Structure 1
Amino acid sequence: MSEANHDEATASTRVVIIGAGQAGLAVAYFLRRAGLQPGRDFLVLDPGPRSGGAWQHRWESLRLGDTHKVHDLPGMHEMGLTFDDAPRDRPARDVVAAYYSRYERHFDLQVVRPATVSWVERTEDGYTLTLYPGGPFDQVATQVIVNATGTWTNPRIPAIAGRSEFTGTQVATPQWISAQQFAGRQVAVVGGGTSALGFLDDLANVGASTLWYTRRDPVFVDDEPWLSETRGARAVSLQDAAARSGSILPSIVSVTGLARSPLVERLDARGQLQRRPMFRRLVTDGIIEQDGTFTYVDAVVWATGFRAELRHLDGLNLAGPSGAITVQRGQVVDEPTIYMAGYGPQASTVSSNRAGRTTAKLILAQLAERAAANSTPAAN
C-alpha cells in the first residue's frame, strides 16, 4: 500500500492524518520533509469548510494577542510568515485561517475537505475509516492513523440538575456567535478559563448584566497574557503524567491559573470578577444558588471547557477503566499504529509543533519496518 489509490468511493494510503489544525499540519509537514508524498503516501482529512482548524469557528470579537497566543507552524519561517506580527485588529479566526491556507498551499499538503470521519475499524492490514456523506470518499484504508481532531466539537458541560427545565437560552462555547443576542439580558457565565472572561467582556459591551460562576476560586497570576515557560511546562508535565497513566486529563487553567492580562484588568475595573460558587441547579427562569436562594437569569453560557473529540474511535475500545486512553510520546500504548497528535501534553500550540517531529520519526520507522518485513522472501 505504498501509493494512495482513489476511486469514487474509496481511497488507500499509508498514513491518514485526521484533522488539519496545528497538530495535524505539523505532522504533515515533517512527513513531507522526510520524503513522503502528500496525497499519495499520506492523506490529511479535515472536516472544516476551510483552513484554520478550530480557529475558523471562533467568535468574531476574538483577537490574537489578547488572551491567546498562536505559535508558528514548523516551516513558516521559510515562507517569511509569523504570527508574532499578525494583525491584531482583525478577527483571529480570519487571520489564522488565512495563514494556515497559505501554509497548506506552500507545502502542497493537499488537505482533503470536507472529510469527516465517523467510524474506524481494524482490518488485517491496518484500518478502514468510514466518512460521513458529502466528502470525496466513503472510506479510506490505511496502515497508520494520526488523530488530530482536537476538542472543539466536544464541549464539556457539567451535569447540573434542571438543565432541561430551564426555559431561557443556553449556549456552549462552540455555539457562541456574538454577545449581541444577549443585549440587555441577565446572563450567567459558567467557567473559569479565558473564554469565560472574554464572554464577560463582550457581554458588558452590549449592556448585558452578568454573573460569573466557577467550581473553584480562580487564581490570578502576574504574567504575560499567555502562558509563561514555567507555567506552560508545569501544565505539559501534568497533562503528560495523566496521558501516560490513562487518567482523565486535567484542565489547563486548573494548572496554570489566569494571567493578569489587560482583559482581566478591564473586567476587574468594572467589578465583573466577583465570582460566585457553582449553583445547585437550574429552574425554569433562573438559578438556585449554593445557599438555596433564587437568582433570576434568562441565559446561561457554558464556557466549561472541552473533551478530546475521539468518538469516531469508540469501536476500537482504546480507553481503559477510567474512560481515558493511555498515551506515551503521542502513541496509544496498546495500539502504537495510532497517534494522538495534540492530545494531553501536546495540546499547547508550541508542544504540538515539537511533537510533530517525533511523531513523524516514529511513523517512518514503522513504515520502514513493515516494508522490510513485506520484502523478506517467504521461507520454503
Structure 2
Amino acid sequence: MCRSSQTRRACGRNDVVSTWDSLRLFSPAQYSSLPGRLMPSRPGELYPNAAHVVDYLADYEKRYDLPVQRGQRVDSVDRDGPVLRVGTDSGPWTARAVISATGTWTRPFLPAVPGRRDYRGRQLHTVQYRRPSEFAGQRVVVVGGGNSGAQIAADLAHARIDLIWVTQRPPRYLADDIDGRALFDAATARRRALDEGRTDAGGVASLGDIVAVPPVRAARDAGLLASRPMFARLNTTGVEWADGTRAEADTVIWCTGFRPALAHFAALRLRGTRGHIATVGTRAVDEPRLHLLGYGDWTGPASATLIGVGRPAREAARDIADFIRH
C-alpha cells in the first residue's frame, strides 16, 4: 500500500495525470508491459502516449481486481513493536510488511544555479509542463540533456516557440534503432556483472542520454534542436553565460531530474548516501519489514520501468512471504 502525501498516480481516468500532452514512452507497447498482460499496440503508434498508458493501467487494475485504496495518502511509517504503523490521512494502518513504490515524480530536483531566486520570469519543472500553447509569444529556456529535456524542447520547437535548449554537455542521442528494449537489456546486464564482481561496463549511461523517439528525431533532423552549453547564472530577466553573453527569457523549464520520494520514512531513520535507503534487493537493510520498489537500479535493474518492475516485484513478494512464514 504505501503512497506518499504528494504522490499522484495515473491509475485510472478519475485520477490526475501529471504528464505533458505529447509525452511518449521510449519502448514499443509490447516492451512496456506489466507481468501477466501485454500492453496492446495501437495502429500507427509505435511508442505509446500518456493516454494509452493510463488506459492500460486502468484495464490491468480491473482485470486483476486490485484493491486500490484511492485518495488515502500515507504521511509516515514507523515501528510499533512487531508491526509497522502506517499513518494516513484517514487513520493509521498496521502491517507486518510494507512495500513503498512512491517513485521520484513528486520530488523534482532544481539545481542551485546562481541567481535563480532573483529571476523574475516564470520557472517550472518537467512535472508542471503541459503543452506549447501556454508559451505562445514567449522566449523559453529548456534546461536538461536527458529524455524529458529533449522531448519538451522538441515539443516547443515543432510549435515554433522561441527556444533556447541548454545542456551540461552536447546531447548524446542513442542510435535511432535503439529504444527501451536495449536500455532494459543494458541495465540488466550491468546489474548481473556487478553482482558477479565483473567490470562495470556502464549500463544504460554508456549508450547515450536521449532515446530518439519520432518527435525528437524529427526536430533534431530538421535542425530545431541545436543545444547551447549550460549558462552560469540567471539574472532578473534571463540567463547569462560565463563569457558575459546574455539572453532574455520569459520562462525557464528545468528538466533536471528527480530525487526519491522517501519523506514518509523519516521516523525510521534509514536514509543513507545520496538520499537512498540501503537495500539488499528490494529489502531495506536496517528494516527487513520494508521493501522499496521502482526507485531506480538500486531497487532492481530498470525497476522504475513497466517492463523492468516485474522481476524485483516478484522477488519482494517471495521475500515477504518467507519473512511472514517465519
Same fold, TM exceeding 0.5?
yes
The aligned counterpart of 1:316 is 268
Q: Which stretches in structure 2 are left out of the alignment for 5+ residues?
A: 196-201, 298-302
User: What SS does the corresponding residue of 2:142 show, helix, strand or coil?
Assistant: strand
Answer 1 or 2: which has greater helix percent: 1
Contact kept, 8 Å, 1:173 with 1:301, in 2: the verdict is yes
Distance 1:255 1:203 in 2: 26
| RMSD, aligned CA | 3.3
1:15-50 alpha-carbon deviations (Å, 9 max, x no partner): xx3259xxxxxxxxxxxxxxxxxxxxxxxxx85485
Q: Which residue of 2 aligns with 1:344?
A: 296
Q: Is the CA contact 1:279–1:288 (under 8 Å) kept in the aligned structure 2?
A: yes
CA distance in 2, matches of 1:214, 1:54: 33
Q: How does 1:3-152 map to 2 (within 5 A)?
A: 17-19=1-3, 47-48=8-9, 50-51=11-12, 56-64=17-25, 71-76=32-37, 81-85=38-42, 88=45, 92-132=49-89, 137-152=90-105
Aligned length: 313
Paired residue type of 1:232:
F
1:280 is aligned to: 232
CA distance in 2, matches of 1:106, 1:262: 32
**Partner Cα separation in structure 1 for residue 132 and residue 97 of structure 2:** 43
- Between structure 1 and structure 2, the one with the greater Rg is 1
Amino acid at match of 1:18: C
Range moving further from structure 2, 360-369 or 343-352: 343-352
Q: Tell me if the contact between 1:143 and 1:337 (Cα under 8 Å) persists in the aligned partners.
A: yes
How far 1:260 moved relative to its partner? 3.8
Range that drifts further, 215-224 or 98-107: 215-224
The list of structure 1 runs, each at least 4 consecutive aligned residues, that deviate by more than 3 angstroms after superposition, is 46-50, 52-55, 63-70, 83-91, 231-243, 250-256
The reply on whether 1:209 has 2:209 as its aligned counterpart is no
| Deviations 1:174-199, CA, capped at 9 Å, x for gaps | 11121111112111100111211121
Distance 1:67 1:162 in 2: 41
Q: Deviations over 1:225-271 (max 9, x none)?
A: 52343x4344456679999xxxxxx9966764323443333122332
Identity of aligned residues (%): 31
| Bigger mean CA deviation after superposition, 264-273 or 206-215 | 264-273
TM-score, normalisation: structure 1: 0.73
Distance 1:197 1:287 in 2: 19
Paired position in structure 1 for 2:287: 335
- In the superposition, the TM-score normalised over structure 2's length comes to 0.84
Query: Distance in 2 between the 1:52 and 1:356 partners?
Result: 25
Quote how far apart the aligned CAs of 1:344 are: 2.2
